[in-house]
Amino acid sequence: MKEDRKRKLENKVALVTGSSRGIGRAIAIKLAEEGADVVINYQNAKDHARMVSKLIDAWEWQIPWERLLKRSGKWNVRNMQRKYPT
């Protein structure tokens, strides 16, 4: 990614469910490229999710999880699966 490119999603947080593979993976990577802080979620594909996380972490603009929480406030996704079934 070019450094001079405007990052439209700077200071935004994206929670991408199913982000370990396929479309979810592509969405998570694109959101990170656009400047969003991305929270990766997976159900069964732990190794795939770890790979996506490493790809995104390799970009120097990503921030640690603690700073993300501090900036974004409290996250409560415990009941997300029940509220928004896939």
Using one digit for the tens of pLDDT, what is the confidence trace for 1-52?
444 456 788 888 888 888 777 888 889 889 988 888 888 776 666 676 677 7
Confidence (pLDDT) at 59? 61
Considering the domain boundaries, does residue 54 fall inside one? yes
pLDDT tens digits along 56-78: 776 655 555 566 566 655 555 55
Q: What is the pTM of this model?
A: 0.52
Considering the domain boundaries, does residue 7 fall inside one? no
Domain ranges, residue 65: 13-83
DSSP string spanning 17-82?
A: TTTTSHHHHHHHHHHHHTT-EEEE--SS-HHHHHHHHHHHHTSTT---HHHHHHHH-----TTHHH
Residue 59: closest CA among 16, 17, 5? 5
Confidence (pLDDT) at 61? 53
Please provide the size of the chain in residues: 86
Which helix (DSSP H) or strand (DSSP E) does residue 57 occupy?
Answer: helix 46-57
Confidence (pLDDT) at 29? 87
Report the number of distinct structural domains present in the chain: 1
